[in-house]
Amino acid sequence: MSLIEIKNLTKQFDLDGTTVTALNNVSLHIEKGDIFGIIGMSGAGKSTLVRSINFLERPSEGSVRIDGVDLAELSEKELRQKRSGIGMIFQNFNLLEQKNVLDNICFPLEITGVKKKEAKVRAQELLKLVKLQEKEKAYPSQLSGGQKQRVAIARALATNPQILLCDEATSALDPQTTASILALLREINEELGITIVIITHSMAVVTEVCKRVAIIDGGRLVEEGPVREIFENPKSDAAKELISGKEIRYTPTENLNTGRRIRIVFLENSAYEPVIANVILKFAVPVNILRADTRNVSGKALGEMILGLPEGEELQNDIIEYLKETGLAVSEVNENE
């Protein structure tokens, strides 16, 4: 049985007499101990989805089950108790500015009736976990963005949750700090066995830390699966755009007569082969490299390229077939990407 089971979830809002559908018939299963990514562009519905997991947003239709328990069937008291097992961190940290670091972490414990002495001991343990022992008396205004997020993570873990929801938790951080926070989340997952759900618009975040991913577009679930499989061979337009980013659309090479564009991913058995040189030698035609990059995907470095193929459909198909035979993952790139 999945730890989190979302079935046929629809969420609608009434805005000035107009019904807006934020989520449309979404079904997901998240296993215990997973690091699960939910990704989509702004307005896709991903934040509404994560808030539905702990019933901060009640679905218009469908159900959410945590450990087999349907949240809709719980009383308000039972729901509050269930939520204590679901921690949450946000983009803007949500720390209490008038409290120091230690008191911020103690706060959710004191609300649940834990004695101050016990709460302090627990908070100090968590500060050690997030590597901020020396900052327990500091105030949020004295911390960097990365330190604030570490405090927020410690506070979210205070009640020993089995689930940690991260809503754009790294969006306000620079790349180096983002990498350190993602490494911390991976460590928490491995050491404590906490199931982590990461909401993001960044495929780099997903490929760095997540095991599985769901792609949301226009309130619908358009693709789901292991991160590596989707990275190698994205099927939905939303997945292709999220993986490719905006570089292709605005690159100076877009004015070249590149004809058909394809994306290739170098797997382990093809990483050291001079693939492009071999294509040029075999077919005696130029191939434009529009972009090349290396990504960390599920702990392994995978290379990717966007290629512009020469004119001629038969020639293009022959090149694509040859690339697939050499062990590459090949997918089409839409011209507007």
In sequence order, what E strands does the chain have?
A: 4-15, 18-30, 35-39, 61-66, 69-70, 86-90, 163-167, 195-200, 212-217, 220-226, 261-266, 288-297, 300-308, 329-332
Supply 175's token pair: 């790349």
Please give the average per-residue pLDDT across 123-137, as a whole number: 93
Integer Cα distance of 9 and 25 in angstroms: 5
Please give the helix or strand (H or E) that residue 227 lies within, else none.
helix 227-232
State the CB neighbour count (10 A cutoff) for residue 81. Answer: 12
Please give the average per-residue pLDDT across 273-279, as a whole number: 80
Q: Per DSSP, what are the bridge partners of residue 29? A: 5
pLDDT band at 151 (very low <50, low <70, confident <90, very high): very high
pLDDT for res 152 = 94
253 pLDDT above the threshold of 80: no
Q: Going by C-beta distance under 8 Å and a sequence separation of 6 or more, which residues neighbour residue 137?
A: 100, 101, 102
Please give the average per-residue pLDDT across 32-44, as a whole number: 90
Q: Provide the whole-model pTM.
A: 0.80
DSSP-assigned states of every residue in 264-315: EEE-GGGTTS-HHHHHHHHH-S--EEEEEEEEEETTEEEEEEEEEPPS-HHH
Q: Is 152 exposed, middle or buried (0-12, 13-18, 19+ CB in 10 A)?
A: buried
Report residue 294 CA to chain centroid gap: 18
State the CB neighbour count (10 A cutoff) for residue 316. Answer: 16
Domains recognised in the chain with CATH numbers: 4-234 (3.40.50.300), 246-332 (3.30.70.260)
Integer Cα distance of 56 and 264 in angstroms: 41
Q: What is the pLDDT of residues 40-78, one digit of tens each?
A: 888 888 889 988 999 998 999 999 999 999 999 999 999
Q: What is the pLDDT of residues 100-114, one digit of tens each?
A: 999 999 999 988 888
Integer Cα distance of 278 and 283 in angstroms: 8
Q: Is 219 exposed, middle or buried (0-12, 13-18, 19+ CB in 10 A)?
A: buried
Angle of helix 175-192 versus helix 145-157 axis, rounded to 10: 20
